[in-house]
Chain A
Amino acid sequence: MTEQYLNFLDHLAKSPYFISDGGIGTYLQSHGLEPGDSPEKLNLTQPTVIRQMAKSFFDAGSDMVLTNSFGGNKFMLKKYGVESQLHEINREAASLGRMAAGENQWVIGSIGPSGEFLQPLGNVSHEEMYDAFAAQAQALEEGGANGILVETMTSLDEITIAIDAIHKSTALPILATMTFDKGPRGYFSMMGVTPDQTVTALSNTNVAVLGANCGNGIDQMTEIFELLRRTSSKPILIHSNAGIPKIVGKEVVYNEEPEYMAEYFISLIERGAKIVGGCCGVTPKHIEMLRDLLDKKGLC
C-alpha cells in the first residue's frame, strides 16, 4: 500500500470524525457558473476560483474537500464537448485542491455517475463503463488526490463497476455513496435500491467508507444514516443538501441555515457518523458554524 492510502485512512481511523466540505456546483454557481454549464471546465479556465473554493472550505474547518470533478467522466464531458481534455480536467481538479491543502488536510477525488444506463437498459457496456471510471481515477491520482469518493450513485451495478475500476487502476482508498429519495414506500435510489441493499452490496467490496449524499435535507439524511448504520460494519459518510432547492423569485435557494444544520451534523457525529459534510447548497459558512459549535462543545 502506498503512503497516501495509509495517510488518509490512518488519520481517519485515529480521528473521532472528519468534517468534509459543501456543495461544489452551488458554490460555483454563486461564483459565476451558469446553471447547467460544465463545472469541470473551470479547472482549466478558472483555476484560481477552484483553488479558492478548496481554500475557503479548509479555512472554514473542513478536514477534507472534494475535487471539482463530479461530472469528469468521459460520458458527461462529451455532452459539453470537452471529452478530449478528460485527463487534464481531472488531474487539475486534484492538483488545485492539493495546492490549497495544508498538513492533515485531505483532497478526495470526486467521481459522479456516468449519466448513462448500462446495457441492456442503455447503450454502455460494462467494459466501457469500467474503462471510463478507471481513466478518471488515474488522472485524479496523478493530480495528487488522497482518495476517491464515488458519489451520488443510484445503481448497484454502476457503483460496483466504479469501485472495481478504481481499486484496480489506482492505489487510492475508496469511499462510496448512493443517493436515496423518500417515496411513499420509504427510501429508494432512482433505480430502486434501498439503503439495506446498498450496505449488503458494498460490504464485500474494497470501499473503506460508505454512505449517502444529496437529494435530501439533513433531517431525512439522518433517517438514511440510521438505516445504513443498522447493518453496516464500515464507517459511514453523510453529505447532506441544505434542503430541497426552492425557487424564490428568480433565485434558486437552499433554505437550511448553518445553525440548523450544525445541530444535526453534531447529532450525526454523536450517533457514530465518521464523516459529515454537505452537498448542494452547503457553503463554507455552514462548515464554519459546525466547526465553531464542535469546538465549543469540546468535541474535537
Chain B
Amino acid sequence: MPITNKGLLEELTHISKQDELQHITKMLEKTDALMQQVSYALICGDNETVDRLTKQALDENYEANTILDDGLIAGMAIVGIKFRDNIIFVPEVLISARAMKAGMAHLEPILSASDIPPLGIVIMGTVKGDLHDIGKNLCIMMLRGAGFVVHDLGVDTKPEEFIEAIEEQEASLIGMSALLTTTMPNMGRTIEAFEEAGIRDAVKVMVGGAPVTQDFADEMGADGYGKDAIDCVDIAKELLNLK
C-alpha cells in the first residue's frame, strides 16, 4: 500500500538518513489509512485524535497489536528521529508521549487481558540521584504494549528499593535508566548491591539512557543494553529467552 496520509508524507521529508527513511517507509507502507492517521496524530501530539481513533479502530475490530505497531509505535519512531536530529525538542516529545499514553489506555486492558499470560514481570526505575524519567516512561509504555507487566519505581531509586521490589514482585528482569554521567556509576553500584543481597543470579539486568553505552553496560556487569524504547522491548525478550 502506498502511504496516502499527506501529513505523514510531509513528516518523512524530515528524515535525512537514507537507511532510516527506507526502514520507516517500509513500515508505513504496511499500514492502512486509519493507522496512518493515528501515527500522524501521535507525531503532532494530538491527544484527542489519538484517543478517538484508537477507540474507533477497536470498534472496527482492529487487533490491539496492530494499532500499537502500525499506529502508535510507527509514529513514535518518527518522533524519536526528529528529537535526535533537533527538529523537535523535549516539549514535543512529552506531548507525543502523552498522546501515546492516551492510545495505550485503550489498548493496555486488551493486551493484558488476552489469554496469553504476561511475557514477564519487569521492574523499571531511574537510578539513585537521577530525576530524568521521560525515556524510562517511554520504555515502560512499550514494554507494557508488548505484553510485559511492569512495576515502575519512578526516579531516584535506591538500590534497596530495587531489591525490595524484586522480592515483592518476584520479578525476573530489572531495567535501570540513567541520564547523568554522574549517576551512571549508581547502576554498577546497584548491581553490586544485588550481589551482596545474594539475588544477582535471580534476575537479569538491562540498562539504558543517553550516556550509557554497550561498553559501559558490559563493564558494570549488566546483562543487556538498549539504545531506545523499541530496543528495550527486544532486549527484554532476549534476556527472558522469548525470542
Contacts and interface: CB of A to CB of B under 8 A. Distances in A.
* A and B associate in one complex: yes
Interface of A: 29, 34-37, 79, 115, 117, 121, 183-186, 188-192, 244-247, 250, 252
B197 interface: no
Contact of A247 (B86, B92, B130, B181): B181
Contact of A36 (B84, B91, B129): B129
Nearest to A38: B129
A121 B129 CA distance: 24
A241 B182 CA distance: 14
A121 B89 CA distance: 13
Contacts of B183: 35-36
**Nearest 7 CB-CB pairs, A to B?**
A36-B129, A192-B89, A245-B181, A185-B86, A183-B86, A35-B182, A190-B90
B94 A252 contact: no
Interface stretch (B50-58, B144-152, B184-192): B184-192
Contact of A186 (B86, B90, B156, B184): B86
25 contacts: A35-B129, A35-B186, A36-B130, A36-B156, A79-B131, A79-B156, A121-B91, A121-B94, A121-B95, A183-B85, A184-B84, A184-B86, A185-B86, A185-B87, A190-B90, A191-B90, A191-B91, A192-B89, A192-B91, A245-B182, A247-B181, A247-B184, A247-B216, A250-B185, A250-B188
B89 A188 contact: yes
A79 B156 CA distance: 9
Nearest to A252: B182
Contacts of A189: 89
B240 interface: no
Contacts of B9: none
Contact of A252 (B88, B92, B130, B185): B185
A289 B94 CA distance: 43
A244 B88 contact: no
Central interface residue in A36, A79, A190, by most chain B CB within 10 Å: A36
Interface residues on B, range: 20 to 34
A253 to B, nearest CB: 9
A121 B47 CA distance: 12
B128 A185 contact: no
A183 B156 CA distance: 27
A79 B85 CA distance: 32
The B contact surface, by secondary structure, is: loop
A143 to B, nearest CB: 26
A115 B130 CA distance: 12
Contacts of B128: 36
A29 B183 CA distance: 12
A115 B92 CA distance: 17
A190 B181 contact: no
Interface centre among B91, B184, B185, B186 (most CB of A within 10 A): B91
Contacts of B130: 36
Given A36-B156, A121-B91, A191-B91, 13 more contacts: A35-B182, A36-B130, A37-B129, A79-B156, A121-B94, A121-B95, A184-B85, A185-B85, A185-B86, A190-B89, A191-B90, A250-B185, A250-B188
A244 B89 CA distance: 21
Contacts of A79: 131, 156
Contacts of B85: 183-185
B185 A191 contact: no
Interface in B50-94: 84-92, 94
A101 B90 CA distance: 40
A36 B182 contact: yes
A192 B95 CA distance: 14
Contacts of B185: 35, 247, 250, 252
Nearest to A183: B86
A252 B188 contact: no
Q: Which of B89, B130, B131 has the most CB of A within 10 A?
A: B89
Interface in B91-139: 91-92, 94-95, 128-131
A37 B182 CA distance: 11
B89 A115 contact: no
A160 to B, nearest CB: 16
Contacts of A192: 88-92
A115 B134 CA distance: 13
Contacts of A185: 85-87
A33 to B, nearest CB: 10
Contacts of A247: 181, 184-185, 216
